[in-house]
Amino acid sequence: MLKTRRLKEIMGIKVFTDNGDYFGEVEEVNLAENKVDGWRVKIARDSTLSAFLGSAKGLIIPHQFVKAIGDVVVVSRSAVPSKEEESEEAAA
CB 3 within 8 A of CB 9: no
The pLDDT of residue 21 is 85
The band of 82, judged by pLDDT with boundaries at 50, 70 and 90, is low
Pairing mode, if any, of strands 73-75 and 14-17?
parallel
Q: Which residue has the higher pLDDT, 53 or 30?
A: 30
Q: Which residue has the higher pLDDT, 54 or 74?
A: 74
Q: How far apart are CA 65 and CA 76, in angstroms?
A: 5
**Considering the domain 7-91 in this protein, what is its CATH number?**
2.30.30.240
Domain chopping of the chain, boundaries: 7-91
Average pLDDT of the segment spanning 54-59: 76
Q: What is the pLDDT of residues 9-26, one digit of tens each?
A: 899 999 998 888 888 899
The pLDDT of residue 50 is 66
CB 49 within 8 A of CB 65: no
DSSP letter for each residue of 7-63: HHHHTT-EEEETTS-EEEEEEEEEEETTEEEEEEEEEPTT-TTHHHHTT--EEEEEG
